Chains A and B, each alone.
Chain A
Amino acid sequence: AQSVTQPDIHITVSEGASLELRCNYSYGATPYLFWYVQSPGQGLQLLLKYFSGDTLVQGIKGFEAEFKRSQSSFNLRKPSVHWSDAAEYFCAVGPISSGSARQLTFGSGTQLTVLP
């Protein structure tokens, strides 16, 4: 069964500092990988996705993530955090398939606090 682990429940960084959120997955083959962000009281917004090809993917709001097959990781990074980045971040994994729905498996989330 596939699983996703986000080892950091809560991270606090100062505005302007760099950020790395960790995500490790367990899956039998190379999956599709996603990062979503959830602002308070809102739904989930897709930040970025990895399907194949270049292992460093760029997303919205200046975020990037790197797929490392050997480490089964897909960590999210941002060089300089803004106060508006305070939110909860979810990593998700999904199987490569076609023609029918396949569920995504989500991590338990990392809450990001940004200090002024």
Chain B
Amino acid sequence: NAGVTQTPKFQVLKTGQSMTLQCAQDMNHNSMYWYRQDPGMGLRLIYYSASEGTTDKGEVPNGYNVSRLNKREFSLRLESAAPSQTSVYFCASSDTSTGRNIQYFGAGTRLSVL
């Protein structure tokens, strides 16, 4: 059971470079999320997608863009990476049709911006 799959697992960028983090889920969930995790700050929501074709900003959206490509895939793009975006990024998905929003997480992408 794959669950939520994120690629790549590790990435090093130079300031100003761009990249896209990929996320796919095979649980037929309607909602997907991108979080960043920084020491002592828990997880903070960057963007989420309630359903295919919709996206909304979370707590810390600046510097990021997202695309809900289809029901399975939700990508996060850094157009011009900055050292402040050095973090661990997690994708999650949930079935919110029951209203209970149990989120399932991928293994994360560890990003360093030099």
A residues whose Cβ falls under 8 Å from a Cβ of B: 4, 9, 32, 34, 36, 41-46, 49, 51, 90, 94, 96-104, 106-109
Contacts and interface: CB of A to CB of B under 8 A. Distances in A.
A90 B42 contact: yes
B101 interface: yes
Contact of B97 (A4, A44, A45, A99): A99
Contact of A103 (B40, B45, B98, B99): B45
Given A97-B99, A101-B96, A108 B41 contact: yes
B49 to A, nearest CB: 7
For the residues of A in contact with B, the DSSP-based class is loop
Contact of A44 (B40, B59, B90): B90
6 contacts: A44-B90, A44-B92, A46-B102, A99-B97, A101-B101, A104-B45
Contacts, number: 74
B44 to A, nearest CB: 8
A106 B90 CA distance: 13
A90 B33 CA distance: 17
A108 B37 CA distance: 9
Given A42-B107, A46-B102, A46-B104, A100 B50 contact: yes
A22 B104 CA distance: 23
Given A43-B108, A46-B102, A101-B48, A9 B40 contact: yes
Interface string B31-57: 101000000111111001111000010
Nearest to B108: A43
Contacts of A44: 43, 90, 92, 105
Contacts of B103: 46, 104
Nearest to A94: B101
B75 interface: no
B98 A101 contact: no
A32 B100 contact: yes
